[in-house]
Amino acid sequence: MASFSALTTPLGVGIGMGISSGYNPYSTQGKTSTDGTHPRSRPEYIPNHIPDPSYVRILDTTLRDGEQSPGAAMTSDQKLGIARQLVKLGVDIIDAGFPSASQEDFNAVKMIAQEVGNDCDADGYVPVIAALCRCNEKDITTAWEAVRYAKKPRLIPFIATSSIHMEYKLNKTKEEVLQIAIDMVKFTRSLGCDDIEFGVEDAARSDTEFLYKILEEVIKAGATTLCIADTVGITMPLEFGEMIAGIKANVPGVENVIISVHCHNDLGHATANTIQAACVGARQLEVTINGIGERAGNAAFEEVVMALKCRGDHALGGLYTGINTRHILKTSRMVEECSGMYLQPHKALVGDNSFLHESGIHQAGLLKHRGTYEIISPEDIGHERSNGANMVLGKLSGRHALKNRLQELGYELRDDELESVFRNFKAMAGKKKRVTDVDLKALVSDQVCHVEPIWKLDDLQVTCGTMGSSTASVKLVTVHGSTHVACSVGVGPVDAAYKAIDLIVKETVKVLEYTLNPVTEGTDAIATTRIVIRRENNKTLTHALNGNFVYPTFSGTGEGVDVVVSSVEAYLTALNKMLDFKD
């Protein structure tokens, strides 16, 4: 066998080429249309041929392979909802399930075929509805009964071809496996199915010559698509690309079918392997939303699609899909909720942190031009449009980011005020992972509110335990020396004390944040309490950049070995600031 270099492809695509000179991800050249679809139209669907050689079909197998993730089982209604969302994305083929697995799976596939598989849009687009089946007549007949009602039905009969699978799982010889594959493709044809995707399980570990032979024979038998699976995720991108190039060069009749790839992520290469395969001639890519699937999952839909969208014209020879990418985020959240497979924050593109920035250097660059640290616009995958960069304020943030966020919140500070707030901000950020907008407003109030206390704590008594409600008796002294006492009941001693104070000062206060942190160790530890409050139903319209209402907030801290006393002192500090504040 000759070696096939992944640097040369049948389309002349240069895999090793670098980023084009002057490449700007925020320019309009080569970008998708405003609704997230590619400016080139989707070619007419022909099972074994794609009129545009640069078009790449997307097969989504979230409802079948994705559901095989441990604990990811979904109900029929959930599957139907996800299938409808996949139509909004514009996927070419929906792998709806494995009808022979159970009656419930059969019912779900049939329902999707009948409802989703017949819902044409104004342009005539309707997805192909596919069903997986083993290479035996019972499986194939059951699968056909489930999908035959779709406008474009497809069956995916599969069989393993690696030595380890044939010997230990199938207990069959190469000759037996070859004959089964031929017979079952012909049987599928005899049922009236003219769109047959033959799946080669564990193709990546199969003997090369045997793989070529079985592919040649199933093409003769009537297969229209060949699915080459890296079932255990063992290959490297260069290795997988050479494998697909070898199939294209050595299998007679391969020019009359579509090559599809199905990659698993056991070594973390599923997306890279899938993209490499597309570059050397695969024109159907099998993916799952969020990359869910067996073990470490499958190639992630959002990663593969956005790689083609961002780099298709610049580095991948003009490859493109028909996916409306603006529905990616919503679909990701739907699958996350239905499957229970929750994403890590740093998951590419759809994780919570994928478009957030905390580093001061990054934030400063983003404020000048979004393209400095964002390769795509967040709106391209469905994030709501924002006026500025998505930034998280923390210990690495700088003055530019802080000033920008304060302006968005409606605060215009002088340079000296900003410097003071920035110092306090850095001190707070050293103790908290994230500084929230509530924190920022409180920091500003700390800067502008230097007041003499109107109320001071004179005495506090609380009763709490398991025998009844907590009660508190509070004695406060005014700045003029008068004394006021009130008692109240609460859900705990702190709540009871706060309610008693409210009775004295006659203010309705909303507590926005309450934190209690020990400073020293042991049962006699000193605790620091921090509280953020605002007046209830009070708002002040400021000159905020976005024109929103700004609610003045006020913070206070207290410290001591008695957590109730420190909590009351923190509350009084914030309360005194609020009472002194003039709108």
The DSSP line for 458-492 is EEEEEE-SSSS-EEEEEEEEETTS-EEEEEEEESS
Domain range 62-339, its CATH number among 3.20.20.70, 3.40.718.10, 2.60.40.1930, 3.30.460.10: 3.20.20.70
- The CB-based long-range contact list for 123-127 (8 Å cut-off, 24+ gap) reads 123/42, 125/42, 125/90, 125/322, 126/151, 126/152, 127/86, 127/87, 127/91, 127/92, 127/93, 127/94, 127/152
pLDDT of residue 23: 43
500-536 tens-digit pLDDT? 999 999 988 889 888 887 655 566 566 778 888 888 7
Give me the CATH topology for the region 455-580.
Double Stranded RNA Binding Domain (3.30.160)
The structure tokens listed for 15 are 């895999």
pLDDT of residue 554: 78
Domain boundaries along the sequence of the chain: 62-339, 360-379+396-447, 455-580
Per the CB < 8 A criterion, the answer to whether 403 and 418 are in contact is: yes
322-356 tens-digit pLDDT? 999 999 988 998 898 888 787 887 888 887 666 65
Query: Which of 166, 257, 168, 249 minimizes the C-alpha distance to 217?
Result: 257
Q: Which helix (H) or strand (E) holds 77?
A: helix 76-89
pLDDT of residue 360: 56
Crossing angle of the two packed helices 301-315 and 270-279, in degrees rounded to 10: 40
> Is the pLDDT confidence value at 80 over 70?
yes
Integer Cα distance of 386 and 397 in angstroms: 19
- The CB-based long-range contact list for 350-355 (8 Å cut-off, 24+ gap) reads 350/290, 350/302, 350/381, 355/383, 355/390
Integer Cα distance of 263 and 269 in angstroms: 8
Distance of CA 180 to the CA centre of its chain: 41
> Is the pLDDT confidence value at 543 over 50?
no
229 compared with 37, residue with greater pLDDT? 229
> Is the pLDDT confidence value at 470 over 70?
yes
pLDDT of residue 516: 84
> Is the pLDDT confidence value at 230 over 70?
yes
